[in-house]
Amino acid sequence: MSFFVQQHSIVFLKGFITLFLSCIIATRFNFCLSNSNIPFSFKTLPLEGHLSFDETTLNKASTDFGNRYQYHPVAVLHPNSVSDIATTIKHIWNMGPSSHLTVAARGHGHSLQGQSQTHGGVVIKMESLKQHEMQVHVGNFPPYVDVSGGELWINILHETLRYGLAPRSWTDYLHLTVGGTLSNAGVSGQAFKHGPQISNVQQLQIVIGTGEVVDCSEVKNEELFHSVLGGLGQFGIITQARILLEEAPSMVKWIRVLYSDFEAFTRDQERLISQDNAFDYIEGFVIINRTGLLNNWRSSFNPQDPVQASHFNSDGKTLFCLELAKYINFQHIDIVNQEVERHLSDLNYIQSTLFVTEVTYVEFLDRVHVSEMKLRSKGLWDVPHPWLNLFIPKSKIHSFAQVVFGNILTQTSNGPVLIYPVNKSKWGNRSSVVIPDEDIFYLVAFLTSAVPCSNGSDGLEHILSQNKRILEYCERENLGVKQYLPHYNTQEEWRDHFGTQWEAFRQRKLVYDPFAILAPGQRIFQKTITTSSL
């Protein structure tokens, strides 16, 4: 009897497995069959540019600077015009909710965790968008430049300098697209003075999730305007932007000083960002267990007192570097030098560590690109970059530093650790960016690079574990920290991130991208597929 039952069970199990596999195969066949029609339907679209389906192009579009995630699209759009983008999105919109297709706008591919990728969807190569040449408008106050959403900031710098002008706010790295940085915030050492890049935009042109092209500004379609700025690509693709400009300096006086006392370091930073016209750029970074530091600077910076500097010894201590820049026009150079001396005399840095250099404006702003070229030559650029960027309230920065720099991050970081304060008043209060609810908050950025195949402290797993410990500490102690360039895997985590802004964010998504076609790589909203698609 038991033998019969056993045989019957085996037969039943085999039948069940066969049926189960048949269902999987049928489902996959139907999915593949529907996907096989995608290239054909796209080939009928009236485009000025073109769609690519070749494996090399698709592979490139499935990677990014983070070098950790890889999602393959089915096509890459190289748009020649805004209408190409609108036509493609409209085509997918017309397919309705039964289509699996989504769209990801890709700038220079500098996203960290697959945010510019889409699995089985369409990647739009924004750098191909060259419909409008840059137009610099000098007869207005303030002056401005109209640029494509796919334009690189380094190109904008060079073009505006021809008119003696330049954008007011930057990121530390200029080889990024306008649409990419405006979809996040765009933060650097000028943010304390001018706010992030999203605070220096007058108007935008957007292609929303239905394929409609919409112009927006502070006074026209203002809800869309503010939603898109810092909106992580959820409400539309930025195809054109009007960027505010200021007079560009001739030279930059670039200064570095060191602190061993974190309280003195932050006190001086906070004092400087509250003063008018003290410096034009204020950042800082953390130096852990480093020796010979000043010797590394000697090739480009001059010590104010060479004798004192030669006697400086870090003794492996954790040090804090204050990095300052003052913009110079030649006709005012003597006055600027006097002002710099006066402001420096009020600071409490280690006197022997004052290092100064003077460089051109382009050399200063494009300084990270020089480091990139060196790393590329050594094969150390295209590696995993498990970066962690945090906004930390001023009231919690000392607790954070004590635990993180004192206990968690105890060895030299494989990349810079930035730390500097900004004024909340310069950010506005209507964009989609989530920031701490204090007048001053700090950006702390762990810009690490992982050594491939390493199992040590410079390996990917160790760095990710370290990042996790930092985030767990922030959550456990309820520090009110918010991630910049955020990444979460569940909508519940995103809801916590946005807090009281979540419901408004969700409602805007329903208005401007109701089928959740755009920016799937952010993993905030998932496209709902009806059963008719199977």
- 35-92 residue pLDDT tens: 555 767 888 899 999 999 999 999 999 999 999 999 999 999 999 999 999 999 999 9
Tell me: the pLDDT tens digits for 367-410? 999 989 988 998 889 999 999 999 999 999 999 999 999 999 98
Q: Which residues are catalytic?
A: 110, 172, 283
Strand 251-259 relative to strand 302-303, pairing: unpaired
Alpha helices by DSSP H, 66-195? 82-95, 153-161, 178-182, 191-194
Alpha-carbon distance 424 to 435, whole Å? Answer: 8
Per-residue pLDDT band for 292 (boundaries 50, 70, 90) equals: low
What pLDDT is attached to residue 44?
Answer: 87
* Residue 36 phi, psi (nearest 5): -65, -20
**pLDDT band at 310; cut points 50, 70, 90:** confident
Rg (CA), the chain: 26
| pLDDT at residue 436, rounded to an integer | 97
- CB neighbours of residue 501 within 10 Å: 13
- Say if residue 533's pLDDT is above 60: no
Two tokens, residue 387: 């970066």
Check residue 331 and give its pLDDT. 82
Query: With b meaning 16 or more CB within 10 Å and e meaning fewer, what string describes 413-446?
Result: bbbbbbbbbbbbebbbeebbbbbbeeebbbbbbb
Mean pLDDT value across the chain: 90
